[in-house]
Structure 1
Amino acid sequence: MRMKQESRAAAPRRKGWTIAAIGTAAVVVVAGGVGIATAPPWENQAQEPATSSPAAAPRPATSASEAPEPTPRPTPTPIRTAPAEDYSVGLTPTNEAFGVNPDTAAAVTVTGATLEAVELVPRAGGTPVAGELSDDGTAWTATERLAFNTEYVLSYAARDSAGQDRSGTSTFSTVEPANEADAAMFPLDGSTVGTGQPLEFTFSEPVVDRDAVEGAITVTSSSGQPGAFYWLTDTTVRYRPETFWAPNSTITVDVDLFGVDYGNGMIGNFDRTMTVQTHNTRLAVVDNATKTMEVYLDGKLDRTFPVTLGTDEWPSTEGYMVVMEHYESTRFRAESIGLEPGDPAYYPPTVVNHASRLSNGGAFVHEALPAAQVALGNVNVSHGCIGMSPEGAEYFYNTFGPGDVVQILNTDYGPMYVWDGFGDWNVPWTEWVNQP
């Protein structure tokens, strides 16, 4: 890890040694302890005795073999002191780290010193990130989250146990936009929906770690109903209770996805709390055996209407459906259900009134075309939709909205798939909670 050159208050040392004269020996202080060395070379030079008399006659030259052996010096007693505590620094994230999760708590820790100042700022400028120093002064930890796609500079100053000043600087960068993952929920925050509305979460990136994502989403309801997740794809998951939501209840969704790794390094980018309200119970039971729709409000029969359903070639699916959206007027095109001109069942673009969508595949509750009015209550003539009289379609349009439930009986055709609209309630609960 590259660190900024440390500053030292003490005077420069000769080759890293500190020498102090002790009698005729010297103490050499090295990192981690104290030892004894012989006197410096200049102290071993022969010295002439000081005198006021003329200089003494030169000594006769002698060969090296004739030089007398020096008198041995006594070995001093070593000076024993406690070794200085080692100084070290720990950094989170490490210097020059790249793609750091912004949920990481930036930190500086020191050993053998105390921190005197720490600053964490975006390199491009801006407000420093707030942090907190530990009581003993050996650790600083950021108390604010980092931002995505930002390079930070972390600087610190400390004083070690020997009273020397230490300092350093490091840099790191957080997750870039290519690895930033978003998510959205339907229904929208603040919505009021029917009791059959599942919660749907859509992610901008494939979710590999489903447990991590599910663990970051907490759903509670005023009715106390527990629920479970069911994955439709790697980017879509639904949540519902075992039975329909209780009427007039509040559903609270706490999404804590900031910093959650979806897998493959894709990091969630937000936290949010959202609420959804349910209104009273609204159920429309469509029975192919009687060609009628019975409308129940809060469990009581309110209205009955004649209907026409899908033909044998284009049967209506059985089971539960949930109103997805509706249009006062819209245009139906045969191409949307795979028909081309020349097909026996093809029809030209047709405007229909009071249309409420039940499936992605094109099933609606809507006003039957004038030519089909005589079929209501008698025979099936649609391509899988539920056709009604002008009065019945307008009533349904004004009474039922997103999340309200339609149940279709006795068509002898399988239930709508969970992914074809909101067919969630056709999945048995044991299967829902034990999805592979």
Structure 2
Amino acid sequence: MESESKPGSRPGPAPRRRGTAKKIALLAAVCILAAGGGAFSAVAPGFARGSMESEAGSAVRSAPGVASPIVAPVKLDVSPADGAKQVNPAAPVSLTVANGKIERVTLTSKAGEAVKGAFGADGTSWTAAGPLKFNADYSYTYVVKDGAGRETSTTRSFSTVSSSHEADAAIYPLDGMKVGVAQPLQVIFSEPVVNRAAVENAIKITSSSGQTGAFHWFSDTMVRYRPEAFWAANSTVTMDMQLFGVDLGNGQIANFNKKVNVHIGDKRLAVADAAAHTFTLSVNDQVVKTVPVSMGSKRFPSARGYLVLMDKHRYDHFVADSIGLKPGDPAYYGEVDVQYTIRLTLSGAYIHQALDSAFPYIGNTNVSHGCIGFAPDGAAWVFDAMTTGDVVQVINTEGDYAAYDDGYGDWNIPWAQYDN
């Protein structure tokens, strides 16, 4: 039969199966439809690229293969900057976000002390509630959430002003002290002050009498304050110093806030007359007593003007060397014990009981080294009657004014010059 192969002849084509032809046709139709009717391809190139770009263009996919709208990135404003050094402890520590919310914030010192803070009402800001410490390292961690609900945690660090740039101050009078009407308020800083206006603006001084006054800088570390006239008798003066974090200049930062209430007593003003050799005390403008004295000699005349009582001691020890006197000098007195001493100047002028050798001269001759010397009963009476902040006006002396910073010489400075 012809269908049988002859030996040595080629076999004929195998008969096709009907199912195979149908599958090929169906696959071609699917490819053509997918390609939008274009030329035949196993996978249409345009379709493949479009699908990949659609997924990659979305920042977030809520489920595999499903694209979501693009989410705006969170913007942060953080203070202090990461790694910042010499940060002012009074500077605000804060975090503000846009396009998101703040979930958590922790601010902790290296010593483990946590700093509390407060969130803004809408949850987009946080600010530390209190000042930081000097010479401390801090770790600042915050967690923020973007519009798609994703959280990001960030940790920063910074350090505050070192001890070498920390400024303190000594204040006088002390809180609660009762002083006389002539007592200036004094602040002595541990470091030089360049930004004087900033310091003055941080100190608010009020008086129950309504008096106002002025600051006067005696040096780059010492400032005082007084009114134009003496403080009103029996008033209270309040000095409210909000100096923590104030930049004094040259990187020196003040480290304290303090409020001081000073009570002013009666007005006690004494007049020491070097010509009449008398000491007259008035209380609230009424003369109460006059006692005889011996004041500074021609070689050592008493300083003129207003001298404010600084401190007093029932017993004291005077040394001639401390005022420059040496053995062999006719005025040299070695070392002596004295009673009822009240300091008038830093350089060594006092009210005190005179030495026994001076008793004959009290009331008639000036023989002291610039002090105001009394007989025992007069010295005891003045010691009990007067206190720090009271004032002695020295008149009819050949001496000049003491240096304005040699004690409290504030009242010898004309007001127009003081208030400058």
- Using the size of structure 1 for normalisation, the TM-score is 0.81
3-state DSSP class of the match of 1:372?
Answer: helix
* Deviation of the 1:27 alpha carbon: 4.5
- Please name the residue that 1:47 is paired with: none
Pick the aligned partner of 2:51 from 23, 26, 41: 26
Instruction: Kindly indicate whether the alpha-carbon contact (under 8 Å) linking 1:320 and 1:416 is maintained by their aligned counterparts in 2.
Output: no
* Deviation of the 1:321 alpha carbon: 0.3
- Please name the residue that 1:74 is paired with: none
Q: Which moved more, 1:86-95 or 1:168-177?
A: 86-95
* Deviation of the 1:29 alpha carbon: 6.2
For residues 272 and 121 of structure 2, the distance between their equivalents in structure 1, rounded to whole angstroms, comes to: 70
- Please name the residue that 2:97 is paired with: 110
- Please name the residue that 1:85 is paired with: 72
Pick the aligned partner of 2:358 from 372, 379, 393: 372
**Aligned amino acid, residue 147 of structure 1:** K
* Deviation of the 1:185 alpha carbon: 0.8
**Aligned amino acid, residue 124 of structure 1:** A
For residues 288 and 387 of structure 1, the distance between their equivalents in structure 2, rounded to whole angstroms, comes to: 11
Pick the aligned partner of 1:235 from 207, 221, 237: 221
- The residue correspondences of 1:18-417 to structure 2 (distance < 5 A) are 23-24=47-48, 25-28=50-53, 84-126=71-113, 128-417=114-403
For residues 186 and 422 of structure 1, the distance between their equivalents in structure 2, rounded to whole angstroms, comes to: 12
Unaligned residue ranges in structure 2 (runs of 5+): 1-44, 60-66
* Deviation of the 1:23 alpha carbon: 4.3
**Aligned amino acid, residue 143 of structure 1:** A
Per-residue Cα deviation, 1:51-107 (whole angstroms, up to 9, x for no partner) = xxxxxxxxxxxxxxxxxxxxxxxxxxxxx9975423222210011111111111111
Per-residue Cα deviation, 1:171-217 (whole angstroms, up to 9, x for no partner) = 11111211111112111111000111111101111111111111111
Per-residue Cα deviation, 1:31-64 (whole angstroms, up to 9, x for no partner) = 9x669xxxxxxxxxxxxxxxxxxxxxxxxxxxxx
* Deviation of the 1:287 alpha carbon: 0.9
* Deviation of the 1:272 alpha carbon: 1.5
Larger Rg: 2
For residues 346 and 159 of structure 1, the distance between their equivalents in structure 2, rounded to whole angstroms, comes to: 83
Instruction: Kindly indicate whether the alpha-carbon contact (under 8 Å) linking 1:86 and 1:112 is maintained by their aligned counterparts in 2.
Output: yes
* Deviation of the 1:164 alpha carbon: 2.2
For residues 164 and 292 of structure 1, the distance between their equivalents in structure 2, rounded to whole angstroms, comes to: 88
**Aligned amino acid, residue 311 of structure 1:** S
Per-residue Cα deviation, 1:248-272 (whole angstroms, up to 9, x for no partner) = 0001110111111111111111112
3-state DSSP class of the match of 1:233?
Answer: coil
For residues 55 and 109 of structure 2, the distance between their equivalents in structure 1, rounded to whole angstroms, comes to: 40
Per-residue Cα deviation, 1:216-248 (whole angstroms, up to 9, x for no partner) = 111111011101111111111111100111110
* Deviation of the 1:376 alpha carbon: 1.3
3-state DSSP class of the match of 2:72?
Answer: coil
3-state DSSP class of the match of 1:169?
Answer: strand
For residues 279 and 219 of structure 2, the distance between their equivalents in structure 1, rounded to whole angstroms, comes to: 34
- Using the size of structure 2 for normalisation, the TM-score is 0.84
3-state DSSP class of the match of 1:286?
Answer: strand
Instruction: Kindly indicate whether the alpha-carbon contact (under 8 Å) linking 2:243 and 2:254 is maintained by their aligned counterparts in 1.
Output: yes
Structure number with the higher helix fraction is 2
Instruction: Kindly indicate whether the alpha-carbon contact (under 8 Å) linking 1:330 and 1:352 is maintained by their aligned counterparts in 2.
Output: yes
**Aligned amino acid, residue 239 of structure 1:** Y
Identity, % of aligned pairs? 46
**Aligned amino acid, residue 72 of structure 2:** E
Instruction: Kindly indicate whether the alpha-carbon contact (under 8 Å) linking 2:353 and 2:379 is maintained by their aligned counterparts in 1.
Output: yes
